[in-house]
Structure formats: structure tokens, C-alpha cells
Amino acid sequence: LPGLPGRQSSAGPVRWAPRRRGCWRLQTSRLASTDGSGGRTPKGPPTSTTLSAALLHDTVEDTDTTLDEVELHFGAQVRRLVEEVTDDKTLPKLERKRLQVEQAPHSSPGAKLVKLADKLYNLRDLNRCTPEGWSEQRVQEYFEWAAQVVKGLQGTNRQLEEALKQLLKERGLTL
């Protein structure tokens, strides 16, 4: 969105802000070419709506952008999908995490794709480097929570799920 601020980064040691790196766009774009069967979806490739929502999925949570602005610039369908994957920041963090686990199986196919790609990117990033202020225990707890979310998303995209299974296996976790 032109003129809308992004997440602010702090100076200093490595910290976790995966969506600020340019390669997340490439990772997200890769989901557009695959589906649960390893090829195109029965209805064709994921729509531009899904891809747009994937690129914008944390915008409302992490900036002062509103859902109305997302709709204004990208349309009602993108807004609905972004809204579906956006956490309610008025809730405590543990409640938001619980809701992600609970709601994952009931998400739309587009939201499931966005969530799978996001979890894969975040877990790869955590495997690559531990964020400033995070203990190894906190990283492991994040992996455990992410595994619970991914369990509810199974059957959506074989390639993303296989990559996630491998990462989780390296941490002693299964789906």
C-alpha cells in the first residue's frame, strides 16, 4: 500500500521480523504454483486473491493499515481472506495462539494456504537464527505450537506440508 508504514526495525543484534525480508514474497509466490496434489488445484491455480492475501496477510496486524484500506486497494475478496488470517490484537497473546489452533481446520482453502506458507517461512527462519531475546526453549515452544496449527491445516498442500513435516521432525515433533 503506497504511503503506509511497515513494521519498524530496531538497530542491534539479529531479531525476528521475517516479513521485512524481501524473500518472503518469493516464498509466498511459490505457494501459488502448487496445491495439495503437488500440481494445480482441481479448480486451477490459486487465485490472485489468495496470492494478494498471502502478500498482505500481516499488514493489518503489523501496521496501522485497516481492513477498509485493504478492501479499498485490493477489493472485498482480498479483504475477507486477510481478515480470516488476521489475529485479533485486542486479545491476549495466548488466547490468539489458542484460537489459531482451534480455527485452523475450519479455515477456507485460501486461508489454509496462506497459513501453511507463513508457518513454513517462520519455522525456517527460526531454524536459521534464534531471535534476540528468545531462548532455545521458547523456539521449541513455538515449533510445538506451530505443529498444532499445521495439524489443523493438513490436506491442503502436500508440498508445503512435507516441508513442514521435515522441519518439525528435526525438532522431534510429528503431525
35 is catalytic: no
Query: For residue 80, what are the contacts with CB-CB under 8 A and spacing of at least 6?
Result: none
The overall average pLDDT reported for the chain is: 81
14 neighbors 129 (Cβ within 8 angstroms): yes
Please tell me the pTM assigned to this model: 0.75
Q: Which of 62, 69, 83, 87 is catalytic?
A: 62
58 is catalytic: no
The matching CATH number, chosen from 1.10.3210.10, 3.40.190.10, 2.120.10.10, 3.20.20.105, for 20-170 is 1.10.3210.10
Give the whole-angstrom CA distance, residue 149 versus residue 106: 11
- Domain boundaries in the chain? 20-170
Q: Max CA-CA distance within the chain?
A: 47
Determine the average pLDDT of the residues in 140-144. 98
86 has pLDDT over 90: yes
Q: Which of 35, 58, 61, 64 is catalytic?
A: 61
What integer pLDDT is reported at residue 45 of this predicted model? 60
Residue 17: how many other CB atoms lie within 10 Å: 15
